[in-house]
Every structure is written in C-alpha cells, then in structure tokens.
Chain A
Amino acid sequence: GIQVEQSPPDLILQEGANSTLRCNFSDSVNNLQWFHQNPWGQLINLFYIPSGTKQNGRLSATTVATERYSLLYISSSQTTDSGVYFCAVAPYSSASKIIFGSGTRLSIRP
C-alpha cells in the first residue's frame, strides 16, 4: 500500500520563527489534506490541496503531485501553533481510504 512519510518528526522553535513541514508519498493520490491536531485530539482542517499552492493567513501549502510531495509553511510562529501536524492522502487505488502520515510534532517556545 501507499506509504506517507512526514519530516521532521519533531520540531522545536522560538515564537516568531518560520518552519517548513514535508510530506512524501509513494504513489499517485486523489487528494491530500493537512491537519493540525490540538491537545484535545481534534483534527482541524488546514488545507485540501491535491495539487498547486494555497495560502491562509500565516499558513501556506504546496503540493507537487508529479513528484509526490507536499510542503506546509508556517510563518511567524505563535505558541498556539503548537501541536501535531498530519498529512493525509487518498490513493487512486483506494480513494475511499485516507492514509495518514505519522505526523510532525511542533513545539513553539515563547
């Protein structure tokens, strides 16, 4: 089955810093989403981005489907950005099943 790898696994930054999170996937996908999981477990939708680039405030994402990767950019980090960021894909071979990466744990220090 498709493999989804996220890097780095952990990231510790000072408030105000910028960061780039990466998601690599091993096969063609129907769609790709980025989520932020808060300390209470809620998965918050950040981007639905099968291809191209999107921006929402301090966050932006780019997916290059032909090269099988996606990047999530966070600028001017705030302590509320802390948490786990997940990339999730729906493979062409089984589009009903969303496969999650293992996540990047981001800690923003004041």
Chain B
Amino acid sequence: DAGVTQSPTHLIKTRGQHVTLRCSPISGHKSVSWYQQVLGQGPQFIFQYYEKEERGRGNFPDRFSARQFPNYSSELNVNALLLGDSALYLCASSWGPDDTEAFFGQGTRLTVV
C-alpha cells in the first residue's frame, strides 16, 4: 500500500510569489494535517482537515491556507512568500480526527530566495 505522498519534493520560489503543495493520504484515511519544520526545530502544526472541514489551525498568518478535496487529498497554499517561509513542509494522514496514529509523508522542501 502506498504511504502518504507529497509533491513536489523540492521547490525554489522567489519572495512575493505563491506556492501550492499537495498531499495524498493513505487509502482509507480521512484526516490530513500540515506541519512546517524549520532547520533545527520540531515540526509546527499549521492545519488539520477532516472530511473536508477545517478542524484545527495553528499560529500561522492568513497567507497560509489549505483545503481538502472529496478524495481526501489536500493542498496547502502560501501567498506572498517570505524568506522565513523556507522550510520542510510535512503532511500527516490519519484515519480519524483525534486519538489516532498519524503517518507522515516525505515532505516538500521549500526554499524562498
């Protein structure tokens, strides 16, 4: 069975641009969460979606948005990119919204120049 898949794996963008990151959860999983990991730190929670509805939001500016599609895949969008948005973006998939084990994709490494 395929695990959590993310695309692209690497991305270079210029300050001020927009970026879209994609995530496909494990088959049968209905919850997708997004995390940002900057160098030397643990991942920080951005969003959780379950059954296409936002269930949780971390402390990130409105430039960050996400959505979940009927097939449970998800997109993370970041507008007006800043140098500080350079990070590894991780997607996690789980069966339910709470109390369930989360599985992570390999991440998208975003570099903003």
A residues adjacent to B (C-beta < 8 A) = 30-31, 33, 35, 40-43, 45, 48, 86, 88, 90, 94-103
Contact = CB atoms under 8 A, between A and B. Distances in A.
B97 A95 contact: yes
Given A97-B56, A98-B45, A101-B42, A90 B101 contact: no
Interface residues of B, number: 27
A40 B102 CA distance: 19
Contacts of A30: 98-99
Interface in B60-113: 88, 90, 92, 97-104, 106-107, 109
Contact of A95 (B44, B90, B98, B107): B98
B33 interface: yes
Nearest to B88: A41
B109 A41 contact: yes
Nearest to A31: B99
A17 B14 CA distance: 46
17 contacts: A30-B99, A33-B101, A41-B90, A43-B90, A48-B101, A88-B42, A88-B102, A96-B56, A96-B98, A97-B58, A98-B35, A98-B45, A98-B102, A100-B35, A100-B44, A102-B42, A103-B42
